[in-house]
Amino acid sequence: MAESTGTLVFSSVGYEDVEVKVSGRSVIDVKLTLSNRKIDEVVVVGYGTQKKCGNWCNFKSNG
C-alpha cells in the first residue's frame, strides 16, 4: 500500500480551521478551538451528488 501524503483541512462554523499533514498516519486526532471572530450571518448552499462512503471514511466522535 502506498504511503498517504497530503494535507487534511478541518473547518466548522465558529471554530478556527486546522490543517494536518497526513504523512502516512492512519489515525489523526484533531481538536478545534473556538474562533474569536463574530459571526453575523451564515448561509449554507449545497448541491450535486455524493457517493456512499466505504470503510475507509468512518468517523468517530469523542463527545
pLDDT in tens, the chain (63 residues): 567 788 999 988 888 999 999 888 888 999 999 988 777 777 777 777 666 666 566 555 555
pTM: 0.54
User: What φ, ψ does residue 55 adopt, rounded to 5°?
Assistant: -65, -20
Whether residue 28 contacts residue 22, with contact meaning beta carbons closer than 8 Å, is answered with yes
Cα(16)–Cα(35) distance, integer angstroms: 5
Tell me how far apart the alpha carbons of residues 14 and 3 are, in angstroms, rounded to a whole number: 33
Nearest to 23 by CA among 2, 48, 42, 5: 5
